[in-house]
Amino acid sequence: MRYGVTIVRKVSPKRWVKIRYLGHSGFWVRTKTEGSFVIDPWLSKFGDLLPFATGDITPVDLLLITHDDKDHCDPYSVNEIVKNTGARVVAPQRSLERLGLKERLVMIGDTLSVKGVRIEVVKAGHGFGRDPNCVGYVFTTEDGLTLYHACDGDPKDPSLRSRKTDILMIKI
């Protein structure tokens, strides 16, 4: 997939979502109710490859980080997006520490709601183990479309296959 590619997924005329690939594990998701979410941006690495500037990533309601590895939790990207949009940041404890933020701590089992979109914080694979500081996010839009950002999940992981989802977002 090319950096900056936008995918519009229409399940029906009333069920759709726009997803822009930001490189590696980064995605920008916009929903029908104008909910706007960025997950794991690593723009300090891929910024020169994108056909747009970090300032073009707007509006953003919520910036979600899956874990504290630099390819998912990039202080440059988070600071630029927050500065340009005023987005709130949600992340596990170690990610917030890496970013030097005291924003919204999330833990496995938490549920958030933003602009009609329900976001469930779930266990996520990272390497060969499960780490409470490594989470995935399941988005359910107002019209029932389900998206799953699987962190560093392995596509062969049975837990990914068992989760009912319309769209799986996974690192490339």
Cα 162 from Cα 169, distance rounded (Å): 15
Residue 153 placed within a domain: yes
Residue 15 placed within a domain: yes
CATH at residue 38: 3.60.15.10
The one-digit pLDDT tens for each residue of the chain (172 residues) are 444 555 555 556 666 788 888 888 889 999 887 889 999 998 886 656 666 677 888 899 999 999 988 888 899 889 999 999 999 999 999 899 999 887 788 888 999 999 999 999 988 876 555 566 789 999 999 888 899 998 877 666 666 667 788 888 887 6
Residue 147 placed within a domain: yes
Residue 44 placed within a domain: yes
20-29 pLDDT, tens digit each: 888 888 899 9
Residue 94 placed within a domain: yes
CB atoms within 10 A of CB 150: 24
Q: Are 67 and 131 in contact (CB under 8 A)?
A: yes
Domain count within the chain? 1
DSSP class of residue 142 equals T
Enclosing domain of residue 19: 6-169
Range list of H helices, the chain: 43-46, 75-85, 93-99, 158-162
Range list of H helices, 14-156: 43-46, 75-85, 93-99
59-84 pLDDT, tens digit each: 999 999 999 888 888 998 899 999 99
The whole model's pTM is what? Answer: 0.86
Q: Are 148 and 161 in contact (CB under 8 A)?
A: no
Cα 41 from Cα 150, distance rounded (Å): 14
Residue 1 placed within a domain: no
